[in-house]
Amino acid sequence: NTIEFTGALHATVVKEVRLRNPSSNTLAYNAILVGRDADDFSFPKGNTVSIPGTRQGFITVESTMRFLRPAEALLILISNKAGGTDGATLTFSLKSEVKNIEPLGMIKCRSPCYEL
């Protein structure tokens, strides 16, 4: 599974990953980011999520577009044994890509093209 972040250069894009718990016991996960560009992604609401039985939970991931080249990392969700229930480890591929560049400001200047 790949989660794609697209936006303007220097923009921050936020995505929520929905996790479903089919069992009747509570599941808890700790999230970590690994990879070459892991520093370009973060968890603004924390890196843990607890999912009650037969419900769903969300973990928020954000990416700040710092470079023109695409950034890639892995989101790994490791089960934190809560109440004796151990969930499967989940892995997602994260990819961010700059789609447009908006100027921060404009400067007008006048100058000769060349001088002899």
How confident is the model over 44-92, as pLDDT tens digits? 999 999 998 899 999 999 999 999 999 999 999 999 876 657 889 999 9
Q: Is the pTM of this model over 0.95?
A: no
Q: What b/e sequence results for 84-101 when a residue is b if at least 16 CB atoms lie within 10 Å of its CB, and e otherwise?
A: ebebeebebebebbbeee
| CATH superfamily for domain 2-100 | Immunoglobulins (2.60.40.10)
Give the separation between CA 93 and CA 91, rounded to whole angstroms.
7
Question: Is-contact 105 84, C-beta < 8 A?
Answer: no
Pairing of strands 12-20, 56-64: antiparallel
Q: Which residue has the higher pLDDT, 92 or 22?
A: 92
Pairing of strands 41-42, 12-20: unpaired
CA 28 to chain CA centroid, Å, is 19
Quick check: 1 pLDDT over 80? Answer: yes
